[in-house]
Structure 1
Amino acid sequence: AMVDRRSKYGTSAEAFETWKKHLVSLGYGYRLGTDLPGESRGFIPNAKFYNKIYGEGRWSANTIISVSIGQGEILATPMQIANLCATIANRGWFITPHVVKEIEDTVMPQDLIARRYPTIDARHFADVAEGMRMAVTGGTCRLAALPDIEVAGKTGTAQNPHGKDHSAFIGFAPYDNPKIAVCAYVENAGFGATYGVPIGSLVIEKYLTGKISDQRKYLEQRMLESNTIIYSGVKKH
């Protein structure tokens, strides 16, 4: 494990700081800098955070193993997760998410239009993209498959101690020369394949083709008629 005491980075703390810096370069832990107000920064812990909890030199990979499976202390916004998907789709770079495309007689700020390159070698993104494509062709994202469009995706199920788990999905298309990256996060909707995948793939299809194909109309109708509030665990007053 990267954070193991025997790793090439020396101590678990030093290894974790290296990992954290890679995550920050992907746009996590701080505001991405979008042109919309109210953006949240999320949270990526550092070595000092765990030193305070467990004591310096008294924690290792096994202590914080929950971080590696997407739970634990990490907080990420849907925007940051969608941006990760765009980075994978681009095979190793992203542009700060923004709404305004151009302003008449004004030069767009460079920090909104320049490519940003994470500190992770681009070859790794190609491997992840291939895995996401395989998830659609024969894995948990099969429901995201579209006629004549190669979609890549990944499901997620976020644990929720207060009610039913949250359903998540990221996806992009087309696999080559991508045009759209999506993050679908549905509270209290269970497995990612149940609601996240259908909603995300419907957004992709509508964006790329302008319509929902006849063979997928049933899926659109199912999502429109679904009610996940009943699983929220919120008590009546």
Structure 2
Amino acid sequence: MSATPTVLLVHGAFADAGSWSGVVAELQRDSIPVVAPPNPLRGLAADAAYIASVAAQIEGPVVLVGHSYGGALISVAGTAENVVGLVYVAAYLPDEGESLGELQGRFPLSALVSNLKETTYPVQGGEPAVEVTIAAEAFPGIFAADVPAEVTQVLAVTQRPLAAGAFTEAATAAAWRTKPSWVLVAGADRAINPDVQRFGAERAGAKAVEVEGASHAVALSRPEEVAAVIREAVRATA
């Protein structure tokens, strides 16, 4: 069994595992084992079960890292026995029995809410379900204001949609209550109100750092600072 935890990176909505590319490069430079699986984005319970399954099949200890909606997933999946730490990057930290909608509702809504575009996708044996993306013209300013325009133009049209039901599903666990946690707050986030992130960090008693001026896409724009928080978690749990 490796003494160094494997870092399992969980991306959020409207993105894919490639959003972690800069962070992966930073961690690999330090010979930290890292895995960045695709997040299905089909619902809180189903997605958390998938991430928990990935973690359970990794030999040795695991540090789960969740961006955005991925934070909700690691809060649930983090109860897996071999998970030794949690890192939240511009993310939600829901409590057990709490939905993302309820958590967001404690604070003024971000610009994201009024710029979501609804479409449908087929569900075998049932009615079509609703999924959401960010309106392409609003995407750069809301999601990645500190990322070069030529990059955000591509990101806007390659978004991975999130099942709308994910906002109303209640979390079935809050692993931050029993596992050590770290939080990186994106100070200029227009997708998740930074106050939501600060509240989550305080409630969890997490070690928190705020990156001033960082957008929601902080893993893309400030990978060194994101990796530094992950390194701290790895060192503390090794």
Scaled by the length of structure 2, the TM-score of the pair is: 0.29
Of structures 1 and 2, the one scoring higher in RCO (CA 8 A, sep 6+) is 2
Scaled by the length of structure 1, the TM-score of the pair is: 0.29
Structure number having the greater strand percentage: 2
Give the greater-gyration-radius structure (CA). 1
